[in-house]
Amino acid sequence: MRREYHVMVNGSDEGEGSREHPFRTISKAACTALAGDTITVHEGEYREWVKPQNGGTGPTERIVYQAAEGEHVVIKGSERISCWENVEGTVWKAVLPDSFFGEYNPYKEILGGDWFEFPKDTLHTGEVYLNGKSFYEAKSLEEVRNPQKRLTGYGRMWPQYAEPIPHPEDTLYQWYTQAEGKCTAIYANFRGADPNKELTEINVRRSCFYPDRSGINYITVRGFEMAQAACNWAPPTADQTGLLGANWSRGWVIENNRIHDAKCSAVSIGKDKTTGQNQSTRIKDKPGYQYQWEAVCQGLQRGWSRELVGSHVIRGNEIYDCGQNGIVGHMGCVFSRIYDNHIYNIAVKHEFFGYEIAGIKLHAAIDVQIVHNRIHDCTLGTWLDWQAQGTRVSRNLYYENDRDWMIEVTHGPCLVDNNIFASAYSIDNYAQGTAFVHNLQCGMMHKEDVLNRATPYHFPHTTQLAGAAVVYGGDDRFYQNIFVGGAKLPYQVSVFSGLTGYEGAPADLDEYVEWVEKDGCGDLEKHLHTKQPVYADGNVYLGGAESLRLEKSQLCDDADPQVRIVTQGEEVYLEMTAPKGIVQMASALIDTQKLGKARIVEEAYVTLEDEPVIIDHDLAGEPRKIRPTAGPLEGLKDGFNRIKIWG
């Protein structure tokens, strides 16, 4: 029999969990509920780590955790502290027994792991918050006493391109921790505020909602605010914990939540420690790349498959103010759908840097759908790394990011359609076999071959290994996009506007084979020396963006289209002056037949159900004409446009 359990702040865990006699903690309900049950949590603040002990048995027999309709329910990984003593001036000190933290003390847990670059061994997973705003961790007590505005490039770009970033006044709010016997001392500069009178909190728990074991399937988490968790760095070669996460399970639905202030990752749909735990950092005998290969193989040994993990739905969430990721996942993310989320302010404190930072960072995103998300003010909007096969990135809005989108060491097929990339640095392409269709790209692109790392690919719509290959670069498709030139970057990096970086490549697979045959004797060498084909047609190049000579149908206009992303409350508009003739360009609907097959994997661009794809709707969901307009919006017209794109 299905039951509904209730949780209220004035309840008791000795109760029966009914509306009349509710539980006090969500954790009590999490130990009680079985498949098919619902846990309804009522108004209030719950400072606990919810660890579901049971899961559902299928999509229609879930365990649902939900905030009561119309009620504000907050789950926090922090505790309010009011035992501060003034040390000197604006510096205060709190001393807490180590037993206060239990088995996990965020002020002794060092932040780091594989691909974490800097600073080394100086930061902790803890935080100090004043009225909801997180402080910066100082390297010494002297820094807390005499805080200086910070200048740091942490997280803005690759280290070789990093430029100093002047931080605002809030960097003067700093804290420092040290052990004192069997106690933990925390010093903080509150800049004149009284921490015992204001809302002052510190991280205590690693997560807010996260099972302590894998295989807890078919959970729904709906309508909560969750904040302030001390989760550690989440690389693809370690236990990818998050403030909220599925822990190597299947079929979760995470919807309509407000999630913020994770030390590293907000939502995790990634791997667990049984397939590797930071061996490259701990043992140092192999590169992380090798351990990542081993993680994939160990995952397969453990039964990594569509039947065991993945197929999650993450929708309608607001995710912000996190140090590493809004959403992270390696392997456990397969066959998932991520849509209608608003993700912003990810890794913008620039307090630390590593190679796993993005609003959405996924490895092995096999058949993952990333659709209609608004991602802005992030160090990097979305990063697909390894095995983005059968992946679709569609109808997303990227703007005001240091970089919008990146794809790395993957072989396709990956379909990127009807997106707006409005930042000055739009795309990093370290991959092959990606199809870009009906996008608006306002910024620069960087492209690189990767010939020193062979990464895996799979049989279609499965996790089964089919082979491995290096990235030769190319084998990309560009149909009916709008490219805008003129973007300026605040750092030096090899980038181009439009498609000039693909110049000199063969126009199709037949021409590629001809070039290989002309290269003389040998086998591997001929392919290493031959550029892969690039397929391009029907693109529009504005404001100095450079076209490809091989493209048969194109429109070029050097006038600045003056693209602007304008926000008005929750609504977002695109303003753009389009050139005359943009609607009259000869074109046709792009479909599976037109896109062909990715060369290395020999797989077509199709749906998860192996059905043909036809790109017959635009970013706004409007149907496209038989002769569609270039770019992501069918309603675009000659001259000035103002079109609602969000809200």
Domain boundaries, the chain: 79-203
Q: What is the CATH number of domain 79-203?
A: 2.60.40.1180
Instruction: Please give the DSSP secondary-structure letter assigned to residue 168.
Output: -
pLDDT for 162 beyond 70: no
Q: Is the dihedral of CA 588, 592, 593, 595 positive or negative?
A: positive
Share of the chain above pLDDT 70, in %: 96
State the average pLDDT over residues 432-460: 97
Per the prediction, the chain carries an average pLDDT of 94
d(C-alpha 263, C-alpha 230), whole Å: 5
Residue partners of 287: CB distance under 8 A and separation at least 6: 280
> What is the Cβ-side half-sphere exposure of residue 203, based on CA atoms within 13 angstroms?
34
> What is the Cβ-side half-sphere exposure of residue 131, based on CA atoms within 13 angstroms?
8
Structure tokens at 18: 């009914």
Q: Which residues pair with 436 in a beta bridge?
A: 416, 478
What torsion do the CA atoms of 114, 118, 123, 127 make, to the nearest 10 degrees? -90
d(C-alpha 76, C-alpha 404), whole Å: 30
Angle at 544 (CA atoms; ends 539, 545), nearest 5 degrees: 40
pLDDT for 173 beyond 70: yes
Is residue 187 within 8 A of residue 144, CB to CB? The reply is yes
> What is the Cβ-side half-sphere exposure of residue 525, based on CA atoms within 13 angstroms?
5
Structure tokens at 330: 């390696």
State the average pLDDT over residues 259-285: 96
Instruction: Please give the DSSP secondary-structure letter assigned to residue 301.
Output: H
Q: Closest by alpha carbon to 87, among 199, 181, 185?
A: 185
Burial tier of 346 (Cβ tally within 10 Å: 0-12, 13-18, 19+): buried
Structure tokens at 603: 């797989």
Q: What is the pLDDT of residues 2-26, one digit of tens each?
A: 999 999 999 999 999 999 999 999 9
> 290 or 520: whose pLDDT is higher?
290
Confidence grade of residue 253 (pLDDT, cut at 50, 70, 90): very high
pLDDT for 554 beyond 80: yes
Angstrom distances, CA of residue 455 to CA of 272, 385, 472: 21, 10, 12
- For residue 232, the model assigns a pLDDT of 97
d(C-alpha 633, C-alpha 482), whole Å: 11
State the average pLDDT over residues 434-454: 96
- For residue 524, the model assigns a pLDDT of 84
d(C-alpha 437, C-alpha 430), whole Å: 18
Q: What is the pLDDT of residues 302-341, one digit of tens each?
A: 999 999 999 999 999 999 999 999 999 999 999 999 999 9
Peptide bond preceding 460: is omega within 30 degrees of 0, i.e. cis? Answer: no
State the average pLDDT over residues 531-535: 95
Confidence grade of residue 154 (pLDDT, cut at 50, 70, 90): low
3-state secondary structure of 189: strand
Structure tokens at 500: 């000039």
Confidence grade of residue 1 (pLDDT, cut at 50, 70, 90): confident
- pTM of this prediction exceeds 0.85: yes
